[in-house]
A and B are shown apart, each in its own frame.
Chain A
């Protein structure tokens, strides 16, 4: 192979290192207005009145919108439930919720106009925590049950009821777990973990330029989901899909945060109202008020046989979804379903709940609910290992799923070699003989499904000179899709990579693609791209066969040439031969369509994404500070289309997870988010890079994507924080079950541990 498997230079390299790559905030259209949003200061309040007259009267202000001005449209959005108003209507449900929007001649004028809008609020009691939300008689975040969006075929059992529990997922197989937990032959473990609210901190905050002209609108949007956003905009404004165009420029990081509609509906409403292009770019602080990872409380109970085999597991998961559901119900059922972990478990029960609170909405986040549950089941695996006196990797070896196993009896076959992956970790992270007294090692192995069913379509045009253009709606969010997809098409067409152009994510031009998310683009969109390229080859062979009067099977396509026996012609000559003149093209189309089936989630996952990370840490006994010396990730990639980029993405996933492990937590006090900015919210910086960070690639060519590829964008993120927590627990002999592992938490655990030891000594 000459393109696939090569670490070729990124397609976007020159643009990105010279500052010429265009992001939404860099765009300027003729006559463009600039927008700012007024946000609620209260976690929950009734809006008594809004007076915009002084803002409207300001020089330079082009329009001011409140929910009253959105009467002619369907002013709600949300990928699962249409529960989120474009602008708060009657009630605000979280501090930071947009209440009014201004478009003006520049951002400064728009910001000044916000201060002239007078809103009278009547504060109401808010539910800020899981316990408050579930308490009997708790105030309801949504008093009337929201409407379903209908976008996802796999979301069933949406509960149309007035409750803070917005969605539930239940599952069981085998014997009732409760009975097995009482069995005298088995040892039962019972743990509760909590996982905090975490922000994406994409370096480019949210942004959109909306350009409404006549009866159509173009949105230049920093979104991972151009087609779903097109659908939302069409529904909100009552437009045909063909009159809504979503164009995605380069995106400055997303990590799930730019999934589905966020700022696009309000930007479109502003442009429609003032009949000008409008740019709405949020600040980094506003990004904190737009979305976060679902926080969670997880209880896991496991019964284990004396020889260390899991006999039964019951996991209860509560995801705290905030004020609006966004994708929370899908996280609840999808990550709820895989919350048993990557193990053979003959008797299992799952109860997962998604719960509304008056906090920033929980949205998609790299890992999609798995890191939250992995913290519970993997720390418990360590406790089981200690209790049985078994090595933690050995305990996993005894229990992990084998290739061809079924995660649950009615699911599809498991497709990875987990014992092999564990062996790689053991080999790649040998125990250190010289470990100090406050040094520990930990590991975690996790399991994630990808979005299912999902759909991608792609189009390849072969031009008259034999070069080719790929049209597909994958978004380049930094992962390198533009490069990897070019490699797949060049390889399949068997032409030089330099001859392949890639046109991404413009819904007016590029075919349907459901999502740049869920680790799916290279694998599943790549599948569609490869199919489109194969379709082109098939057509070229047919043309040559017709021209030569031979069977199509006798024609081979190689190196940009079709040939049969002693005859050959270039792709361009083949086209000329068909049309009798030059310039014609052949267009190939390809589709990846996921399948529904009789599996618990109804969509069959096309691959199982593995996360496997080991960590070595050292604790400062006096301060509780954790130093991470070593992070090793085993990336089970199937086939690395571009090994350097695959490695880069995995390293990035690990370091993002290091922030989740040690520092990241959105803190609320009195209904207010108190650290929603980059001064008070700490992410991993360059100085935090461990002495050793290594990504070990496993290429078994066992994925469903081109050349055996499977997704890897999220794997390590699911496992790393838990691996670090496990290492901290081992280093200090403590049992921390909550993140992040900031020095105070570790210090308190050390102190409690010492006090307990002292008391037991008496």
Chain B
């Protein structure tokens, strides 16, 4: 259904079907934060250059601040809220905790989701690949070294899990 003001958006968010009426010019970040209460996705540059609002749409990194909500129709949107299972952290989250891959935490949701995309594409990335892949995620606190440590640890954990399967 669509009307003069908007249309019915059907998508999956963190595996759950979601249906709501959104405006044609409504941004994905606003739908996630304001309409669905998923405030783990943070807002910063509004220009698609800082990576803070990164979410995954069908596994691809997308900046919520410059993506129209309708672009997600029929797709699966993954936000930081979808990673942990109850109290059990995702291995990437565990690696960031273990290696202090964050300080203020504001860039962290986007950084972790970008890492998820990275490890899907490059399961065993070298340091240069990590730096290249995450170049679009700005962190002003950590100096990046401990983020890279976290990503490397997450890759290792992922490899071990895969080996055990």
Contacting pair B104 A203 (CB below 8 A):
yes
Mark out the residues of chain A between 1 and 38 whose CB falls within 8 Å of any chain B CB in the assembled complex. Answer: 9-10, 12-23, 25-26
Q: Which of A56-64, A369-377, A532-540, A643-651 contacts B (4 or more CB under 8 A)?
A: A643-651
Q: Is the CB of A679 within 8 A of B141?
A: no
Bound together, the chains give a CA A683 to CA B45 distance in angstroms of: 13
Using known A-B contacts A10-B100, A651-B145, A689-B145, determine if residue A19 contacts B39 with beta carbons closer than 8 Å.
Answer: yes
Least CB distance, B57 to chain A, in whole angstroms: 17
The interface bits of chain A over 649-665 (1 if a CB of B lies within 8 angstroms of the residue's CB, else 0) are: 10111111000000000
B128–chain A nearest beta-carbon distance, Å: 9
The digit string for A677-703, where 1 denotes a CB below 8 A from any CB of B, is 111000111110100010000000000
- Please, what's the 1-or-0 string for B38-71, where 1 marks a CB less than 8 Å from any CB in chain A? 1111111111011010000000000000000000
A7 to B23, CA, bound (A): 48
Number of interface residues of B (CB under 8 A): 52
Consensus secondary structure, chain B interface:
loop
Task: Collect the chain A residues with CB atoms within 8 Å of residue B146's CB.
Answer: 648, 651
Question: Shortest CB–CB separation between residue A476 and chain B, in angstroms?
Answer: 8
**B45 touching A678 by the CB < 8 A rule?**
yes
Please give the distance in Å from A465's CB to the nearest CB on chain B. 23
- CB atoms of A203 and B89 under 8 A apart: no
Whether the Cβ atoms of B81 and A204 lie closer than 8 Å is: no
B79 close to chain A: CB less than 8 A: yes
Q: Is the CB of B142 within 8 A of A648?
A: yes
Contact of B39 among A26, A203, A679, A693 (CB under 8 A): A26
Tell me the count of chain A residues lying within 8 A, CB to CB, of chain B: 56
Assess whether A284 is interfacial by the CB under 8 Å rule.
Answer: yes
Residue in A17, A252, A255 whose beta carbon sits within 8 Å of that of B106 in the complex = A252
Evaluate contact between A686 and B134: CB separation under 8 angstroms. Answer: yes
Total residue contacts A-B, CB cutoff 8 A: 162
Confirm or deny: A171 has a beta carbon within 8 angstroms of a beta carbon on chain B.
no
Residues of A within 8 A of B142 (CB): 648, 651-652, 655
Asked if B131 contacts A687 (CB within 8 A), the reply is: yes
Smallest CB separation, A102 vs chain B (Å): 18
B76 interface residue (CB < 8 Å to A): no
When the two chains form their complex, are residues A17 and B135 in contact, meaning their CB atoms are under 8 A apart?
Answer: no
The answer to whether the Cβ of B119 comes within 8 Å of any Cβ in the partner chain is: no
Partner of A15, one of B41, B105, B134: B105
Report B66-108 residues with CB < 8 Å from chain A CB. 79-81, 83-84, 89, 93, 96-98, 100, 102-108
B93 CB contact (under 8 Å) in A17, A22, A253, A645: A17
Query: Which stretch of A93-101, A325-333, A477-485 is in the interface?
Result: A477-485
Smallest beta-carbon distance B156→chain A, Å: 18
Question: How far, in angstroms, from A304 to B37 measured CA to CA in the complex?
Answer: 65
B103 to A203, Cβ gap below 8 A?
A: no
A250 interfacial by beta-carbon distance below 8 Å: yes
B44 touches A655 (CB 8 A): no
A4 to chain B: closest CB distance in Å? 18
Return 23 A-B CB contacts under 8 Å, by A number. Answer: A13-B96, A14-B89, A15-B105, A16-B108, A17-B80, A17-B108, A17-B112, A18-B89, A19-B38, A19-B40, A201-B140, A203-B42, A203-B138, A250-B104, A252-B107, A284-B44, A644-B100, A651-B143, A656-B140, A677-B45, A678-B44, A686-B144, A689-B143
